[in-house]
């Protein structure tokens, strides 16, 4: 089949199977070092490093079909890593019984107010960049709205931090927050939900863009009436 008649590659489907297997085995080996007494942050970094070559190959493969999708995939992966951090924090709080103020995820050194603000600013800016070139993507519009609100939360939190020097402010909507006392949910839970919804919107937006790219590639080979339906 002609290259123009195929859907854009997902990335993993074009990566050699040995590379995938080596990555999985290397990750498993790195995880076992935790039981040897290695610090959890070091284990997390080593596992991430083990996945870098595979993710790089996937990004390059996707970019061959579409640079836009390649850039989009980077956001899928990086925000996915951020979501893993928040998930680890939930495990620490609800399965390991660690107090919320002491649950800092896998790489605790990054659990500081400035990092949270900078990260969400990056997601917001990246999302605006993707939206500029994909304005018909409904999931990116949803991401823009949520990321703007999330940004407002962190701007308020960092402002309180600069004024008081105390981290862990509930922000706007967490329990004890500035807006009507907040919702009945603590800050780690609320920001876990923010991250979960953002990552879901990013994945849905990426899938939408992939399907759109596939139908755009098919348009020259379709009858005129079908091509018009694709454009609509």
Residue 174 tokens read as 């967490």
> Which residues in 23-40 are b (16+ Cβ under 10 Å) and which e?
beebbeebeeeeeeeeeb
pLDDT at 133: 92
pLDDT at 228: 45
pTM of the model: 0.81
| pLDDT average per 10 residues of sequence, the chain (232 residues) | 46 62 73 70 76 84 88 93 91 91 80 90 95 94 97 96 90 94 94 96 95 62 41 44
pLDDT at 225: 42
Residue 180's beta-bridge partner residues? none
pLDDT at 15: 63
Helical (H) or strand (E) element with 9: none
pLDDT at 33: 67
State the CB neighbour count (10 A cutoff) for residue 182: 18
Residue 172's beta-bridge partner residues? none
């Amino acid at each position: 089949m002609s290259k123009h008649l195929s859907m854009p590659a997902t990335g993993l489907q074009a990566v050699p199977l040995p590379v995938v297997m080596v990555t999985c085995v290397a990750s498993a080996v790195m995880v076992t070092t935790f039981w040897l007494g290695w610090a959890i942050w070091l284990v997390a970094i080593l596992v991430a490093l083990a996945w870098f070559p595979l993710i790089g190959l996937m990004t390059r493969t996707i970019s061959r079909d579409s640079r836009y999708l390649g850039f989009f995939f980077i956001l899928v992966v990086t925000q996915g890593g951020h979501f893993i951090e928040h998930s680890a924090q939930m495990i620490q709080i609800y399965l390991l019984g660690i107090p919320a103020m002491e649950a800092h995820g896998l790489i605790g050194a990054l659990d500081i107010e400035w990092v949270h603000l900078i990260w969400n600013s990056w997601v917001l800016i990246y999302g605006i960049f993707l939206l500029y070139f994909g304005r018909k993507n409904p999931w990116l519009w949803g991401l823009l709205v949520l990321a703007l609100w999330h940004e407002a939360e962190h701007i308020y939190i960092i402002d309180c931090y600069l004024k008081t020097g105390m981290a862990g402010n509930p922000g706007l909507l967490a329990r004890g927050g500035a807006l009507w006392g907040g919702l009945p949910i603590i800050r780690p839970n609320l920001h876990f939900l923010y991250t979960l919804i953002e990552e879901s919107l990013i994945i849905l937006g990426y899938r939408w863009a992939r399907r759109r790219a596939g139908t755009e590639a098919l348009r020259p080979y379709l009858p005129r009436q079908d091509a018009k339906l694709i454009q609509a």
